[in-house]
Amino acid sequence: MVQKTRLDIMVEAHALGVVENILEKAGAKGWTVFAGVQGSGSSGRWQNSGINAAAEMRLIVVVVQPGIAQSILSDIGNFFAAYPGIVTAAEVSVLRSEKF
Amino acid sequence: MDLMENLQSAVANLTSPAVLFFLMGMFAGAARSELSLPDQAAKTLSLYLMLAIGFKGGAAASAAGMEPQFLLLGAIGLLLSFAIPFIAFALLRCISKLDRTTAAATAAHYGSVSIVTFAAGGEYLSAMGVAFDGFMAAVLALMETPAILAALIIVGRSKELTEPAHRKSDLVREVFLNGATVMLVGAFVVGAISGPAGMAKLDVFVNPLFQGALCLFLLDMGLVAARQLRNANQIEVRLLAFALIFPLTAGIAGALLARVVGADFGNGVLFAILSASASYIAVPAAMRISMPKADAGVYLTLSLGVTFPFNLVIGIPTYLIIATGIWS
């Protein structure tokens, strides 16, 4: 097992393209996007309705080398200065180091 | 129309399946029922409604040919959609404590239009025997976006469009190429090209099924509106009053303008309905990108939780009554 950094990035759907560009630029080799269903945040409770697509939430999970994670966090931090979102980072152990 | 006929038309609206399903959705939402429509089903229904409205409009416009009325109503539609946010913004800043960005974003919602209000208005007019032209679907499309530009001008962001961290192309794509707009305009073009022959082939799909789909979508809209209304207790009473009175005023202005440019009665009523409606699809999406600091809890609650139900239940027959007075 090898140590890597996992980032969970939660953003509104309209920002997905921006985040994917940041990941690509930083050199992430792969990531997965999940759709949020419902939840609660600073604006109160939210729930997908199928009507307001831009406000739906997306969770992007990416596992990268720690150096790349720092680069991603720096760019995501700039984005979050203006737009809503959450990012968490955690040290994880992975098999097949060459995949990340 | 005399008073009795006016009352009958208002009662007919209240007892129409579309409005009753909407009210049922609102009740279920307020009672926190488990009733819900899967969001993918709501998306599909929304696309179907755009397709049907656009296609029927295009096919009817093709059969009628290019009408000067379309150009006139399209022009005043663009003008009104651009002007309303400036008026609404000034009012909102006067009557409330909204910050500049949230007031501008809210104003943009009232300058733009609601496709479902248009659909419900069209169905109501048809039930009342009031004829209107197919090109009104194109007027609807024209009135969707000028308000967004107006709001950007209000907050002094007409050049950079978005916060620096977001790409300008994202906003442009969201405004002009969002799924609803592409489907509506695309279906209008398809209907206009295929004409009456195309309509004969799609008639069953876009006509008899339309009412049922509209009812199901409005049921979902009722659930969504009820959820949105739960935020209403955090909103100033003056803003709630704005969400009821401003559409009425805009509807009257729309009817008067349509009358001035010589629109037919049915087109005039539909134009008044469009002027009175507030967006809850295209504009919220654009505001998320261009004005992320604007409080979505305010503009969505007002447009979706207050103005939309008001227009659907009370506004639409009221605009018909007002237009009847203006045209008589």
Q: Do A12 and B288 touch (CB under 8 A)?
A: yes
**B300, amino acid identity:** L
Mutation site, B39, B50, B283, interface A, largest A CB count within 10 A:
B39
Minimal Cα–Cα distance from A50 to chain B, Å? 4
Q: What is the pLDDT of residue B240?
A: 93
The whole-angstrom separation of Cα B253 and Cα B273 is 11
Minimal Cα–Cα distance from A59 to chain B, Å? 17
- Using pLDDT thresholds of 50, 70 and 90, give the confidence band for residue B161: low
Contact by Cβ (8 Å): B157, B22: no
Q: Give ∠ CA A15-A17-A21 in degrees, rounded to 5.
A: 120
The whole-angstrom separation of Cα B266 and Cα B136 is 10
Q: Does B144 touch chain A (CB under 8 A)?
A: no
The whole-angstrom separation of Cα A44 and Cα B305 is 15
From chain A, pick out residues whose CB is under 8 angstroms from the CB of B166. Answer: 15, 18, 79, 82-83
Eight-state DSSP code of residue B281 = S
Query: Residue range A72-92: average pLDDT?
Result: 93
Residue A76 has phi, psi (to 5 degrees) of -65, -35
Q: What is the pLDDT of residue B165?
A: 63
Q: What is the pLDDT of residue A4?
A: 95
In a 3-state reduction of DSSP, which class is residue A75?
A: helix
Q: What is the pLDDT of residue B43?
A: 86
B49-108 pLDDT per residue, tens: 999 999 998 998 888 777 889 899 999 999 999 999 999 999 999 999 999 999 999 999
- Using pLDDT thresholds of 50, 70 and 90, give the confidence band for residue B2: low
Q: Which of A18, A50, A54 has its CB closest to that of B40?
A: A50
Q: What is the pLDDT of residue A52?
A: 73
Considering only A53-57, B87-91, B197-201, which range has the smallest mean pLDDT?
Answer: A53-57
Determine the CATH number of domain A2-92: 3.30.70.120
From chain A, pick out residues whose CB is under 8 angstroms from the CB of B224. Answer: 49, 51
Q: Which of B40, B280, B289 has its CB closest to that of A14?
A: B289
For chain A, the domains span: 2-92
By residue count, chain A amounts to 100
Query: Residue range B101-128: average pLDDT?
Result: 94
Query: Quick one: tokens of B12?
Result: 């007919």
Place of tokens 């009358």: B259
Q: Do A17 and B221 touch (CB under 8 A)?
A: no
Contact by Cβ (8 Å): B153, B107: no
Q: Which of A17, A44, A55 has its CB closest to that of B288?
A: A55
Q: Do A51 and B46 touch (CB under 8 A)?
A: yes
| Averaged pLDDT of chain B | 90
Q: Do A50 and B42 touch (CB under 8 A)?
A: yes
The whole-angstrom separation of Cα B12 and Cα B2 is 15
User: Which positions in chain A have a beta carbon within 8 angstroms of at least one beta carbon in chain B?
Assistant: 12, 14-15, 17-18, 43-45, 47-55, 78-79, 81-84
Query: Residue range B15-19: average pLDDT?
Result: 90
Place of tokens 């007892």: B15
Query: Residue range B20-30: average pLDDT?
Result: 94
Residues within 8 A of A (CB atoms), B 217-236 only: 220-221, 223-224, 227, 230-231
Query: Residue range B24-35: average pLDDT?
Result: 92
Question: How many CB contacts within 8 angstroms connect chain A with chain B?
Answer: 79
- How many other CB atoms are found less than 10 A from the CB of residue B167? 15
The whole-angstrom separation of Cα B37 and Cα A30 is 33
Query: Quick one: tokens of B258?
Result: 């349509």
Contact by Cβ (8 Å): B192, B58: yes
Q: What is the pLDDT of residue B4?
A: 75
The whole-angstrom separation of Cα B62 and Cα B191 is 8
Instruction: Considering only residues B259 and B3, tell me which one the structure prediction assigns the higher pLDDT.
Output: B259
A10-47 pLDDT per residue, tens: 999 889 999 999 999 999 999 999 999 888 877 677 88
**C-alpha of B78 from chain center:** 14
The whole-angstrom separation of Cα A25 and Cα A32 is 16
Query: Residue range B290-314: average pLDDT?
Result: 91
Q: Which of A18, A48, A79 has its CB closest to that of B39?
A: A48
Residue B157 has pLDDT above 70, yes or no: no
The whole-angstrom separation of Cα B257 and Cα B271 is 9
ipTM: 0.79
From chain A, pick out residues whose CB is under 8 angstroms from the CB of B290. Answer: none
Which residue segments constitute the domains of chain B, with CATH numbers given? Answer: 12-25+38-327 (1.20.1530.20)
Eight-state DSSP code of residue B247 = H
Q: Do B293 and A82 touch (CB under 8 A)?
A: yes
Ramachandran area for residue B3 (φ above 0: left; ψ -120 to 50: alpha; else beta): alpha
Q: Which of B42, B179, B289 has its CB closest to that of A49?
A: B42
Q: What is the pLDDT of residue B175?
A: 75
